[in-house]
């Protein structure tokens, strides 16, 4: 295809700066789970934007942070791997908060890459800062990586997104599309359903519970015109959390189920019957065997020693 642009773009940043909101806005549809709480995203996920002129493969990544458990190590590894072998990095930062220690940690990580791709610092939530203060924010973030291009946006309102997308397209190399035009993500519906159930947990549960939640899809059965039947288990770390998750008379679990079902139906375009249950898996975020079983395998560097 003559003059066709194809490239890979990583979206990185500390937790809760709006990475998933940005990728959903760029895609024009929801493919990534979003909540007001940090660490909503736990895996790299592709968002594949295809037109007659270009195909851009966006990589949504977990927020980079100082890890407090082994799951945190896995999340950082996923994000750092996504910085390699891409054509462009969109480093999303928060205009309202300004540079934080985790932003500086990302700056160090980028500087440590042997071959770092071009970087755009995408300053999100510009609607929350005005005038002189916003210009000061741009200067502060520019100091973290002076060679980066700075672009101000508001992912929720999509302000600044056309300018950002135009700049991204300019950076993409010529090439053939990697994916068919109707493919928008690399995840199966059951994987997205699990993320949407966990997103509903993050929206409804008290602050001490959500990050100890993991979702396993036990059954995802197509039933023709009737719709899909989904059975899922929500894992928590302690017995005390189980009562909070279920709620009095099962009210909380029902509320989570209603929210998740609506999101899954919107994603899949058909009727969904969703059944949830709760199970305790003690301290699973710090247990590598359980993490591996859940699909979060931490890569350990091989130790080399002199003989």
Q: In whole angstroms, give the CA distance from residue 4 to residue 206.
A: 48
* 30, 152, 172, 278 from 168: Cα distances, Å: 20, 14, 7, 43
Number of domains the chain is built from: 2
Mean pLDDT confidence for 228-256:
93
- Look up the CATH number of the domain holding residue 151: 3.40.50.300
**Could you give the 3-state DSSP secondary structure of residue 60?**
strand
Give the pLDDT confidence score for residue 58 in this predicted structure: 94
Indicate whether 89 and 226 sit together in one domain.
no
Residue 307 pLDDT > 50, yes or no? no
Residue 267 pLDDT > 60, yes or no? yes
pLDDT in tens, 138-167: 999 999 999 999 999 999 999 999 999 999
Q: In whole angstroms, give the CA distance from residue 153 to residue 126.
A: 6
CB contact set of 44 (below 8 Å; sequence gap of 6+)? 59, 60, 61, 62, 78, 79, 81, 82
Indicate whether 154 and 239 sit together in one domain.
no
Q: Which domain holds residue 238?
A: 189-293
Q: For the residues of 98-158, what is the DSSP string, one character each?
A: ---HHHHHHHHHHHH-TTPPPEEEEEE-GGGS-HHHHHHHHHHHHHH-TTSEEEE-BTTTT
Residue 37 pLDDT > 80, yes or no? no
Among residues 106, 140, 171, which one ends one of the domains? Answer: 171
CA 291 and chain centroid, separation: 18
Q: Which H helix or E strand runs over 239?
A: helix 239-246
Give the pLDDT confidence score for residue 75 in this predicted structure: 73
Residues in the chain: 307
Indicate whether 200 and 275 sit together in one domain.
yes
The band of 212, judged by pLDDT with boundaries at 50, 70 and 90, is confident
Q: What's the token pair of residue 182?
A: 């109707």
Give me the sign of the Cα torsion angle 27, 32, 34, 38.
negative
Give the pLDDT confidence score for residue 41 in this predicted structure: 56
- Look up the CATH number of the domain holding residue 220: 3.30.300.20
* 18, 26, 153, 228, 268 from 196: Cα distances, Å: 17, 19, 25, 15, 12
Give the pLDDT confidence score for residue 66 in this predicted structure: 62
Give the pLDDT confidence score for residue 270 in this predicted structure: 85
Indicate whether 126 and 9 sit together in one domain.
yes
pLDDT in tens, 51-101: 999 999 999 887 776 666 677 777 777 777 878 889 999 999 999 998 999
Indicate whether 248 and 200 sit together in one domain.
yes
CB contact set of 57 (below 8 Å; sequence gap of 6+)? 6, 7, 8, 9, 46, 47, 48, 49, 178, 179
Indicate whether 119 and 54 sit together in one domain.
yes
Residue with tokens 């001490």: 208
Indicate whether 198 and 259 sit together in one domain.
yes
CB contact set of 173 (below 8 Å; sequence gap of 6+)? 5, 6, 7, 87
Give the pLDDT confidence score for residue 192 in this predicted structure: 85
Residue 110 pLDDT > 70, yes or no? yes
Indicate whether 201 and 227 sit together in one domain.
yes
Indicate whether 140 and 13 sit together in one domain.
yes
User: Sheet holding 272-280: strands in order across?
Assistant: 214-222, 228-236, 272-280
Q: Which H helix or E strand runs over 58?
A: strand 54-60
Residue 231 pLDDT > 60, yes or no? yes
Give the pLDDT confidence score for residue 125 in this predicted structure: 94
Among residues 119, 137, 171, which one ends one of the domains? Answer: 171
Among residues 171, 203, 218, which one ends one of the domains? Answer: 171
Indicate whether 31 and 95 sit together in one domain.
yes
69 or 185: which carries more pLDDT confidence? 185
Question: Is residue 118 one of the residues assigned to a domain?
Answer: yes
Top mean pLDDT of 203-217, 257-271, 291-305 is at: 257-271
CB 199, CB 256: distance < 8 Å = no
CB 62, CB 198: distance < 8 Å = no
């Amino acid at each position: 295809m003559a003059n066709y642009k194809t490239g890979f773009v990583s979206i990185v940043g500390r937790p809760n700066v709006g990475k998933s909101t940005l990728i959903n806005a760029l895609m024009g549809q929801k493919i990534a789970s979003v909540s007001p709480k940090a660490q909503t995203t736990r895996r790299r996920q592709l968002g594949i934007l295809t037109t007659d002129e270009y195909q851009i493969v966006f990589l949504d990544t977990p927020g980079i942070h100082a890890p407090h458990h082994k799951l945190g190590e896995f999340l950082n590894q996923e994000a750092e791997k996504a910085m390699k072998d891409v054509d462009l990095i969109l480093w999303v930062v928060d205009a309202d908060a300004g540079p934080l220690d985790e932003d500086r940690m990302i700056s160090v990580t980028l500087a440590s890459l042997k071959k770092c791709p071009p970087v755009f610092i995408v300053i999100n939530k510009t609607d929350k800062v005005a005038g002189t203060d916003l210009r000061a924010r741009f200067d502060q973030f520019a100091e973290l990586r002076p060679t980066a291009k700075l672009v101000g946006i508001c992912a929720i309102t999509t302000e600044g997104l056309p300018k950002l997308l135009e700049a991204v397209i300019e950076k993409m190399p010529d090439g053939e599309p990697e994916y068919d035009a109707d493919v928008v993500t690399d995840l199966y519906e059951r994987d997205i359903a699990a993320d949407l159930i966990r997103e509903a947990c993050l929206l409804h549960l008290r602050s001490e519970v959500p990050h100890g939640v993991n979702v396993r899809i036990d059954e995802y059965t197509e039933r023709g015109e009737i719709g899909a039947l989904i059975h899922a288990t929500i894992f928590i770390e302690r017995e005390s959390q189980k009562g909070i998750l279920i709620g009095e008379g099962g009210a909380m679990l029902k509320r989570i189920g209603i929210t998740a079902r609506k999101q899954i139906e919107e994603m899949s375009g058909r009727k969904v019957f969703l059944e949830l249950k709760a199970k305790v898996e003690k301290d699973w975020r710090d247990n590598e065997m359980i993490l591996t079983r859940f699909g979060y395998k931490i890569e350990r560097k091989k130790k080399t020693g002199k003989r």
